[in-house]
Homo-oligomer: A and B are copies of this chain.
Amino acid sequence: MDGKALALSLEAEMKLSVDALREKNARIPKLVVILVGDNPASQTYVKNKAKACDRVGFLSEIITLDGSVSQEIVLSTIHRLNKDETVDGILVQLPVPKHLDAKAIVHALDPNKDVDGLHPMNVAKLYENEKGFVPCTPKGIMRLLKEYKVDVVGKHCVVLGRSNLVGRPVAQLLLNENATVTICHSKTQNLSELTQQADIIVVAIGRANFLTSKDVKHAECIIDVGINRVDGKLVGDVAYDELVDKVDAMTPVPGGVGPMTIGMLLENTLEAYRMHEGESL
């Protein structure tokens, strides 16, 4: 399952939409990313998001705040962006320095500009099966399944991992699409028994090559969300080579779920734009 190719094709489609807006002299979608401090990894992530905006023709702005900035300044920056009608999406690059209250910062976002899907209003919507902004990685997984025509209705989907960013939301999305969902984690007993029965397996635990041949008899699809560095190489949570012959479809690492995440951020920004322009989400 080629996430890189799918992300590129989605970007190409979005670029056409933005080109059409420019031709009409319409307002252009805009994403603002707030970066606090100078963590090199965060700087790279933020730059990649701005570059992706450039590729599809969105406007973007990176607001860099000093690592010692006060909570008040962060909040007032967000309040200003909430009111700014030229801004469609706002994203605070996490983690923020420890002296800041990350939760209060996320709660300060206008839920309609919360393109990361982290505001409680959006979390509650996901949980109650209503339309709202969905976190980018789980959304990217669902898009990959759809693109590769993996029908999840009534299927037994086993999700490994229960983080707020991936495991829990992807389990909810699968449930909302009428899958039977099992959530497993570090305390799960007899994990192999469950994965052996699964039609679809999503692994998001952050342990290199965790899922191996003994855990799978035959599965329709395995989604590997892991990005682990082993001897300088990127490795997923799934032992790809051991499992590739036991599944109908599988995402590689790199080039699977990863590239979809930024694609979905762009898509959420475009959805926010359409909502602000009065179209329904």
Point out residues on A near B: beta carbons under 8 Å: 120-121, 123-129, 153-156, 162, 164, 168, 172, 175, 178-185, 187-190, 193-194, 197
From B153, B156, B189, A155 is in contact (CB under 8 Å) with B189
Chain B residues whose C-beta falls within 8 Å of the C-beta of A153 in the assembled complex: 187
List the number of copies, as a whole number: 2
- Find chain B residues with CB under 8 A from A181 CB: 182-183
Given A124-B124, A127-B124, is A185 in contact with B194 using a C-beta cutoff of 8 Å? no
Query: What is the CB-to-nearest-CB distance from A209 to chain B, in angstroms, rounded to a whole number?
Result: 22
A168: chain B residues within 8 A (beta carbon): 127-128, 175
In whole angstroms, what is the CA distance A183 to B172 when docked?
10
* Chain B residue at minimal CB-CB distance from A129: B164
Q: Give the distance in Å from the alpha carbon of A155 to the alpha carbon of B188 in the complex.
A: 7
Q: Which residue from chain B places its CB closest to the CB of A197 in the assembled complex? A: B193
A-B contact pairs, 12 of them (CB 8 A): A123-B123, A123-B127, A126-B127, A128-B168, A129-B164, A153-B187, A162-B175, A175-B183, A178-B187, A180-B188, A180-B194, A181-B182
Residues of B within 8 A of A187 (CB): 153-154, 178-180
Assembly CA distance A169 to B120 (angstroms): 15
Kindly report which residue of chain B lies nearest to residue A132, judged by CB atoms: B120
Give Cα A181–Cα B175 distance, bound, in whole angstroms.
12
Chain B residues whose CB sits within 8 angstroms of the CB of A155 once the complex forms: 189
